[in-house]
Structure 1
Amino acid sequence: RWHQDWVDSWIPTAQQLAATYPGLRYYELPTLPQMNPFARMSIDFGMKMGIPDRAAREATITLYIDKDRYRSALEIPSEESITLLLVEPSGKILWRAEGPYAQDTARQLGAVIQLYFAPSASA
């Protein structure tokens, strides 16, 4: 649960960037181990009730997966931090960082997004 404070520290930046770049979407992906449908339903209901803001609920997708394979595939070393990823629609990871909000990290993210959404020279 302590991860949530770190996640929440990034929400204002994510909202501001999404407002600036209409094609940009952000998601919070809580990852939990695989479990039976009844347990998932209970957790999903609890999470829905625990997230009063509709936009935040819509941006939250709970993953019930093999967490070790997930971390390995995304090269996430551990669960001791949170991982931020900027991902193209194709799945290519353009940028990554870890940890709670930091102004320098937010500036780096903004710069990468600005480059990605910049009009191409041929346009």
Structure 2
Amino acid sequence: MLHLTELMLLLSMAVAGLLSIGEPLPSLQGKDLSGTSIELPAAARGDVTLLIVGFSYDSRVAVEDWAKRFRQEFERLPGVRFYEVPMIGGMARMGKWFIDSGMRRGTPKADHGKVITVYGGSGDWKKRLGYRDGAAAYLILLDRTGRVRYLYQGKMDSAAWRKLASTTRQWMQQAR
């Protein structure tokens, strides 16, 4: 039997619209590290795209681990892309200039277009992704039309990696 707090959490996730497999990705807007405005899923249309979302500084290791592994396997293949998506909410938004400049310094210039920083709206996205852990990466795999095909939250895990890789390959094949 569910406890009252668990029931309240489930109800709040249902009201907020928990993201589900097969749904189109709701609009997500931010700027890449070069300063270019990006709106997803429109910017990803035509490619199988992995979004690796982080909600806190503590998530950076998990986000970077997933990005590194995905890059090793898929970066050279046509029709596949990924974005790291740091979501900055609350009072941290006031430090936007410092945060952006620090991320630019810590990211090779060639990768600036692969990091989309989103300021604001993180509460809605936490609800959509069932946020539980500030140190976790939140993965969203989109097919070429912008529909969600895989969701995962957590640190790099071999079973989750195998599932992500096979789902990515499946949607690459279906799109041809």
Q: How does the TM-score come out when normalised to structure 2?
A: 0.58
> Which of 77, 84, 88 matches 2:143?
88
Give the partner amino acid of 1:111.
S
Matches within 5 A, 1:1-123: 1-19=57-75, 21-33=77-89, 35=93, 39-51=95-107, 53-72=108-127, 74-80=128-134, 81-118=136-173
Report runs of 4+ in structure 1 exceeding 6 Å deviation: none
Paired-residue identity, %: 21
Q: How does the TM-score come out when normalised to structure 1?
A: 0.79
Q: CA deviation at 1:21?
A: 3.2
Partner Cα distance (2:72, 2:149) in 1: 19
Secondary structure at the residue paired with 2:81? coil
More strand by share: 2
Aligned length in residues: 117
Q: CA deviation at 1:116?
A: 0.6
What value does the CA root-mean-square deviation take over the aligned residues?
2.2
Partner Cα distance (1:93, 1:29) in 2: 16
- TM-superposition CA deviations, 1:14-38 (whole Å, max 9, x none): 11233353111111100102645xx
Partner Cα distance (1:63, 1:11) in 2: 18
Give the partner amino acid of 2:164.
L
